[in-house]
């Protein structure tokens, strides 16, 4: 089995990776993307994932581990493995504000208009949900980011049950810092 943490960019994937690592899972990452002000605890990414469509020869290295795969690349997971996907869900407006803030901080130009990106993301999420139903080797659980921050104990237990592995739930919970939930919608 390969554990995948996925979602749209800025949806909380790094936090889930940190939780799983703290709980005792081995994380497949290369630390080539260092921590920064937008993600002060690090990204826990593997650069090879970006080329998943062209080269998945490294996938056997992920067996028994957890690796982060952005949602657009899930379609390219090779057959022959069982995947458990923890899919981070976050309000699209929060994601887009977070992405805009990060791009501003990096002095990079913004992307398309926010409403255009919101529609693109919504369409992608619908297509992905439909695709997953046709993948018998992929089991997926949705993990709402806002719920995770508010109730990390419940989320950690749900994730551990889904994965069917023995992890240190208390250490997973300790990883969550509500102060890092920025760009949140007013409730």
Of the candidates 143, 172, 160, the residue with the CA atom closest to the CA atom of residue 18: 172
d(CA 39, CA 41) in angstroms, rounded, equals 6
Q: What is the model's pLDDT at position 97?
A: 82
- Per-residue pLDDT tens for 97-125? 877 776 655 556 656 677 888 999 999 99
Q: Is the pLDDT of residue 174 over 90?
A: yes
* Domain residue limits, the chain: 2-175
Superfamily assignment of 2-175 in CATH?
Answer: P-loop containing nucleotide triphosphate hydrolases (3.40.50.300)
Q: How does the average pLDDT of the chain come out, rounded? A: 88
Strands across the sheet containing 83-89: 66-68, 2-7, 83-89, 138-144
Q: Give the three-state DSSP class for 150.
A: helix
Of the candidates 155, 130, 133, the residue with the CA atom closest to the CA atom of residue 144: 155
What pTM does this model have?
Answer: 0.88
Question: What percent of the chain shows pLDDT beyond 90?
Answer: 70
């Amino acid at each position: 089995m390969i554990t995948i943490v996925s979602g749209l960019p800025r949806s909380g994937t790094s936090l889930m990776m940190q939780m799983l690592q703290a709980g005792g899972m081995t994380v497949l990452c290369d630390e080539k993307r260092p921590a920064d002000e937008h993600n002060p605890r690090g990204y826990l990414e593997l650069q090879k994932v970006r080329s998943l469509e062209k080269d998945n020869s490294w996938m056997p290295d992920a067996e028994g581990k957890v690796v982060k795969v952005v949602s657009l690349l899930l379609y390219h997971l090779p057959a022959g493995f069982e995947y458990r996907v923890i899919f981070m869900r976050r309000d699209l407006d929060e994601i887009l504000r977070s992405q805009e803030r990060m791009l501003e901080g990096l002095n990079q130009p913004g992307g398309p208009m926010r409403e255009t990106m919101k529609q693109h993301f919504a369409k992608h999420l619908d297509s992905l949900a439909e695709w997953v139903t046709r993948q018998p080797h992929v089991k997926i659980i949705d993990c709402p980011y806002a719920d995770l921050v508010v109730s990390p104990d419940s989320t950690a237990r749900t994730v551990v049950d889904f994965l069917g592995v023995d992890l240190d739930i208390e250490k997973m919970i300790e990883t969550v810092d509500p102060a890092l939930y920025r760009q949140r919608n007013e409730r």
